[in-house]
Structure 1
Amino acid sequence: MLRISNFDDWIDYFYGWQKDIGLDAPEFKEYRFEAKYGQVSPEIEFGDYHGQLRWKTVMHIPDQRIRDAAQNLVVYQGDTEFASVEQQRRLFETAPSRYDYLSLVRVMTEEMRHGWQMSHVLITQFGRSGRIEAQKLLERRAFTDDRLLGAFNQPVKNWLDFFTYTQFVDRDGKFQLTMLSHSGFLPLGRSMPPMLKEESFHLGTGNNGLQRIVKAGRIPIPIIQRYFNKWLPTSYDLFGTDHSSSAHWAYVWGLKGRYDERQSGADADKDNLNDTARRLYYEEVQKLTDTLNKLIPAEGAKIRVPDLRFNRQIGRNAGKFFDIDGQAMSKEEFEKYLPTVMPSEEDEKALESVFKEGGWIVPKGEGEFEPSEGARPRQ
């Protein structure tokens, strides 16, 4: 049943969602949630409408199929934002320091704002169907396994989990937001610059957190590796299926560009858009992991980036069996192998012990924390 008729109604529903998932503490109530729209180039940069002015409203979009696809992009992006908050909501009581506690608050409030942003686009642009979808964004729950993408139904159980998640899943988010920043649908494209600015802190939190963990040297590298094995294949899947017709038409219609749209001098391979973005992501992750490995003593085991074929749930490698190095295995071999390279109950118990002992992460002082713009006092 539709319970909202305007954005003010949705705001009331949003605060009810915060309370329902247990995140109505003062830090969240004091944050100034708002829709922010940045500046983008005025013309569509690619596809069949290349060179035309971006569409200022949904009614300027010339084809109902394109309108429907635009709404779908907004819905999926918004769903991931609220889902990530639900996944991480249990971490506050185990924060290793005040700095990390405040960082988690910032990450989560900004993810909430991103969901707020997508809901604002839905309600102000898409009429009744947009209001219905904006309401649904606050009704699905990650912890009841009904968010739209499987990666956003998995729990984030501890701080190693969190830092790995923000390093890899939020990095996928950076890729998605960048591709949407080129959108010919102006309200969507203009939503992206502020979101990307905020997302950079989330990526930095993950990358810096992993560096601090490796420098401390208390968590065994094999355990860290298993958390990489958990989140990286999931992140690969978030780019979508190979030879995706949805990605093809989103590009042709000017709704979603390439990650390197402005840098690439080549014509787009419209039949392999998702795989091209996924490979760029893999290259970036490999460089970050190489840097992380430099912090490990020379004689120590190194962290590996799982092969793009490992444990995939969608695309041409779904249902096929490869180890983390990309070596083919039989189904029987893989079923025995997989539990040995994924986080286990034993890993969780070992981490719990390390967390209690302390010294597992290089400390950072509260004074090093940079608050979100929305958390700053009004002038």
Structure 2
Amino acid sequence: MAETEIVQDYSPNFEQWIRDFSEWQTRIGFDPSWLGDYRFDIKFDWDTAGSTIEFGDFEGMPKWQRRMQIPQQNIRDAIISMVSVQGDTEFASVEQQNHLLETAPTEYDKKSALRIMCEEQRHGWQMAYLLCTYFGEHGVREAAKLLERNAQEGTRILGSFNEPIDHWLDFFCFTHFIDRDGKFQLKMLSTSSFKPLAASMGPMLKEESFHLGTGANGLRRIVKQGVIPCAFLQKYVNKWVSTGLDLFGTDDSTSAQWAYVFGVKGRYDERESSEEADRLHPNEASREFYFQELRDEMRRISTARIEGEPELFIPSDRFNRGIGKFSGKRYTLDGEMFEGNDSDWQAYLDEVLPSDEDEDRLMNDYMQQEWIQYRDWKGD
């Protein structure tokens, strides 16, 4: 079993960033006392990261371990961008979610959400450490920006991480659909040609699995309790699936193509696949794996529904897309072209996505009941 290294000594640049991080916690309303004895350790799994570049034009060469080993500035820029985007999502999710702790339906859910927020912050630390330690002044500037952008102000890099998470149903959908995308992104970086980035992914993936489990478990408990009708719950599934699909980026993305050529970011199944990579469509290939996993997971969740309730399903990947070849086009949940005028389309969206009236019913009716199956907290 691979050993995990925990870094003991930090550079002055990262020490200063840590002081800025403490101010960020105060600004967003995250009380450090909630952490208990949790530590934001910087962890590396060097063995799993591998020693040689696994794909792209530099395949077979030693993985780069320092900035000056990276042969081209545009490759360095691509790595900095990947690290910055990943770090941005980690802090954004804490900004989106920390207000929910006051309204947790059970102590189990409160503790689970708090653990997720602790681990998301650790993942953000990991990315900031890479930027401050390996990429000089450029990295230090990008690390500072991780704490300057804010989901509550809509300034985070990716759209899903500016979406309001107003209640616990949104939280369970977010952790199920959006954190699942996070798992895919981490695995795609786990074979990176930049070894410190690849070595960061193993510990992060282990922690991310709890986040996914929290989302799936929460949705299953809601379905099993039967207070929130499945037809009502389906609207929230429809809402979050499309934004999760958008996180894989544009079709025919040149940045994704170059990331593969440089060996910076691989396919989701890079180590498992025996097929030659389609370098022109890396986003599409990974998105299809994600989409299939969503369908499989939703079938499992739906088996918990009470008798007479309709089966939950994952809508077409064409529906309500904001990025890619289906962006801005009108498709139904079944993936058929919508026929009708603007007002007809708006009426359809009001029918299949959560409305203000639905939000009111959720908060003031369903969530005033025992809306989720109770579960004991068995931790400390």
Verify the 8 A CA contact 1:50 1:254 in the aligned structure 2: yes
Pairwise CA distance, 1:28 = 2.6
Verify the 8 A CA contact 2:13 2:132 in the aligned structure 1: yes
Deviations 1:44-64 (A, max 9, x none): 111111111110112111111
Counterpart in 2 of 1:18? 25
- Which 5+ residue runs of structure 1 have no aligned equivalent? 372-379
Question: Aligned partners of 1:335 and 1:201: how far apart in 2?
Answer: 37
Say whether 1:221 aligns with 2:230. yes
Question: Aligned partners of 1:296 and 1:67: how far apart in 2?
Answer: 49
User: Structure 2: which amino acid aligns with 1:350?
Assistant: R
Question: Aligned partners of 1:334 and 1:113: how far apart in 2?
Answer: 43
Out of 345, 351, 357, which is 1:346 matched to? 357
SS at match of 2:198: helix
Pairwise CA distance, 1:29 = 6.0
Say whether 1:318 aligns with 2:322. no
Counterpart in 2 of 1:171? 180
Question: Aligned partners of 1:263 and 1:282: how far apart in 2?
Answer: 18
Pairwise CA distance, 1:25 = 4.3
Counterpart in 1 of 2:109? 100
Question: Aligned partners of 1:107 and 1:43: how far apart in 2?
Answer: 33
User: Structure 1: which amino acid aligns with 2:39?
Assistant: R
Counterpart in 1 of 2:368? 357
What's the Cα RMSD here? Answer: 1.5
User: Structure 2: which amino acid aligns with 1:91?
Assistant: L
Verify the 8 A CA contact 1:168 1:231 in the aligned structure 2: yes
Question: Aligned partners of 1:224 and 1:355: how far apart in 2?
Answer: 11
Counterpart in 1 of 2:8? none
Verify the 8 A CA contact 1:146 1:153 in the aligned structure 2: yes
Out of 241, 259, 279, which is 1:232 matched to? 241
Deviations 1:99-151 (A, max 9, x none): 11100100001001111100000000111111111001001100111101111
* Stretch moving more, 334-343 or 114-123: 334-343
* Stretch moving more, 200-209 or 315-324: 315-324
User: Structure 1: which amino acid aligns with 2:364?
Assistant: S
Verify the 8 A CA contact 2:50 2:195 in the aligned structure 1: no
Pairwise CA distance, 1:355 = 5.4
Q: How does 1:1-379 map to 2 (within 5 A)?
A: 6-28=13-35, 30-39=37-46, 40-330=49-339, 332=342, 333-354=344-365, 356-367=367-378, 369=379
User: Structure 1: which amino acid aligns with 2:362?
Assistant: L
Verify the 8 A CA contact 2:228 2:366 in the aligned structure 1: no
Pairwise CA distance, 1:359 = 1.8
Counterpart in 1 of 2:5? none
User: Structure 2: which amino acid aligns with 1:357?
Assistant: Q
SS at match of 1:178: helix
Deviations 1:33-82 (A, max 9, x none): 12111132111111111111110112111111111100000000000111
Q: What percent identity do the matched residue pairs reach?
A: 50
Question: Aligned partners of 1:314 and 1:340: how far apart in 2?
Answer: 22
SS at match of 1:6: helix
Verify the 8 A CA contact 1:323 1:334 in the aligned structure 2: no
Verify the 8 A CA contact 2:322 2:328 in the aligned structure 1: yes
Question: Aligned partners of 2:59 and 2:192: how far apart in 1?
Answer: 11
- Which 5+ residue runs of structure 2 have no aligned equivalent? 1-10
Deviations 1:328-379 (A, max 9, x none): 1145232221122111222222222345533211111111x4x8xxxxxxxx
Deviations 1:187-235 (A, max 9, x none): 1101100100000000000000011111101111122111111111000
- TM-score computed with the length of structure 1 as normaliser: 0.94
Verify the 8 A CA contact 2:315 2:333 in the aligned structure 1: yes
SS at match of 2:275: coil
SS at match of 2:44: coil
Verify the 8 A CA contact 1:58 1:67 in the aligned structure 2: yes
- TM-score computed with the length of structure 2 as normaliser: 0.93
